[in-house]
Amino acid sequence: MSFPDKKYNDIISYSTAYFAEYTAAAATVDMEELDKAAGILTKAYETGRTVYSCGNGGSAAIANHLVCDHCKLVQTDTKLTPRVHSLSSAIELITAIGNDISYDEIFAYQLSSLAQSGDVLLTISSSGDSENIVRAIHWARNNGIKVIAMTGFSGGRSAVDADVNLHVTAENYGIVEDVHQSLMHLLAQYIRQGVMDERLVIERKF
């Protein structure tokens, strides 16, 4: 059932219902898939591979935010030096590809120029069915790149084609994106604390 499924007359009741929906949606994430995602990212950071992120709209903001937390935060107090790049951030290149070739190719084209076998692609798409996301996944899978997909709603083609699917069962864009943002944060924090001295874990703010 989608949310909201009725009209609310005050923000208190709406926010109470929203947070209840968020809690329920977060509980639908497959923990085994999350564990696989953490393993793939940790290995990439330990071996000097590059992690590429991408998304459209609000998901693009999460993809860009991921660079900050998975590059700077994970490196803090650890010996890891993550290489993380958002394919959603280079507006000049995105508009050139979109204008001269096709918007459907904006991410796959960048991967063909930058990525190498052994790298990782992390896609963020609420529908899981955005054509530019799906094409990036197909390019990655065909070129030896592991794919982690964050999806919502029905999961779309991303849920089927990715190596790991972090699916959020919800029918509200805000809730799906909120859980995706949480997954992005917790993966970074988990990986960071996992290689830190326990004394520093206790002392530091995350």
Read off the pLDDT of residues 116-158 as tens digits, 9 standing for 90 and up: 999 999 999 999 999 999 999 999 999 999 999 999 999 999 9
In angstroms, the CA 147 to CA 167 distance is 14
Could you tell me whether strands 120-125 and 146-151 are parallel, antiparallel, or unpaired per DSSP bridges? parallel
Tokens for 176?
A: 């799906």
Can you tell me the mean pLDDT for 62-87? 96
Average pLDDT of the chain to the nearest whole number: 97
Read off the pLDDT of residues 9-33 as tens digits, 9 standing for 90 and up: 999 999 999 999 999 999 999 999 9
H or E stretch covering 146: strand 146-151
According to the 3-state scheme, what is the secondary structure of 97-138?
HHHHCCHHHHHHHHHHHHCCCCCEEEEEECCCCCHHHHHHHH
In angstroms, the CA 79 to CA 29 distance is 30
Q: Rounded to two decimals, what is the model's pTM? A: 0.96
In CATH, which of 3.40.50.10490, 3.40.50.720, 3.90.1150.10, 3.30.420.40 is domain 30-203? Answer: 3.40.50.10490
Half-sphere exposure of 100 (CA within 13 A, CB side): 7
Q: Closest by alpha carbon to 103, among 113, 112, 118, 93?
A: 93
Q: What residue spans define the domains of the chain? A: 30-203
In angstroms, the CA 159 to CA 106 distance is 20
* pLDDT for 35 beyond 80: yes
In angstroms, the CA 54 to CA 43 distance is 20
Q: What pLDDT score was predicted for residue 23?
A: 98
Q: What pLDDT score was predicted for residue 152?
A: 98
Q: What pLDDT score was predicted for residue 157?
A: 98
